[in-house]
Amino acid sequence: MADLRACLLSAGYTSVVTYIQSGNVVFVPPGQVVGGAIAADIDRIVDARFGLDVHSVVLTHDELMAVERHNPYRSAENSKALHVLFTRAPIGPAAAERVANLVARAATAGGPERAEVAGSVVYLYLPNGMGRSELVPALARGGAAAVVGTARNWTTVTKLLELCGSSA
């Protein structure tokens, strides 16, 4: 993460702060890089420096606040069961329907897992954890993937919000 931070700083990003070892970065982009071009710029930087073909997901502070505000599972007693799957673009109706079908199948089988699609995120309630989830692998299975993105647990989401507030 120190190398990632250094790469972004050398590319003109400022107020760069990283969080844990899974690619979480809070930053202010250089003036010439705006909007959707930020993710492509970061992908290019990571590929050039580390040789990794990544597909970054970038949210503004306001977008991350909206994710926090609209979480349908916020009142769950176990916040460790809460996760968010972030995607680069809004999830279309066909993918949202596949997610709903997967959740319905899990519920029919007596599974406690839940998911809700909202824009470009999928809120996940996984009371048995992500590692034991039947829903998560089904979401990402092969070419029939319902949704492709990157997931973060609720603790990470709230920590990134804190870091956004301190980096502004």
Domain contains 143: yes
> Do 87 and 35 share a structural domain?
no
> Do 102 and 44 share a structural domain?
no
| pLDDT average, residue stretch 24-52 | 92
Domain contains 125: yes
Boundaries of domain holding 16: 2-58
> Do 128 and 49 share a structural domain?
no
How buried is 35 (Cβ within 10 angstroms: 0-12 exposed, 13-18 middle, 19+ buried)? Answer: exposed
Residue 19 — pLDDT band, cuts 50, 70, 90? Answer: very high
Domain contains 163: no
The confidence score (pLDDT) of residue 145 equals: 57
Give residue 103's identity as a one-letter amino acid code: V
CATH of the domain at 76: 3.30.70
Residue with the two structure tokens 């580390």 = 50
pLDDT surpassing 90 at residue 96: no
> Do 92 and 34 share a structural domain?
no
C-alpha Rg value of the chain to the nearest Å: 17
Domain contains 108: yes
pLDDT surpassing 70 at residue 168: no
Cα separation, 30 vs 50, whole angstroms:
21
The total domain count for the chain is: 2
Which residues partner with 19 through β-bridges?
A: 24
pLDDT tens-place string over residues 143-165:
445 677 888 999 999 999 999 98
Domain contains 165: no
| pLDDT average, residue stretch 124-139 | 84
Lowest mean pLDDT among 17-31, 34-48, 106-120, 129-143: 129-143
Residues contacting 29, CB < 8 A, separation 6+: 12, 13, 38, 41
Would you say 23 and 2 are in contact if contact means Cβ atoms under 8 Å apart?
Answer: no
Cα separation, 129 vs 18, whole angstroms:
24
Cα separation, 80 vs 85, whole angstroms:
15
> Do 45 and 70 share a structural domain?
no
Lowest mean pLDDT among 19-23, 97-101, 122-126, 146-150: 146-150
Other beta carbons within 10 Å of 156: 16
Cα separation, 80 vs 59, whole angstroms:
22
| pLDDT average, residue stretch 68-75 | 91
More confident residue, 15 or 138: 15
Cα separation, 106 vs 72, whole angstroms:
18
Cα separation, 47 vs 157, whole angstroms:
25
Domain contains 109: yes
Residue 33 — pLDDT band, cuts 50, 70, 90? Answer: confident
The confidence score (pLDDT) of residue 112 equals: 87
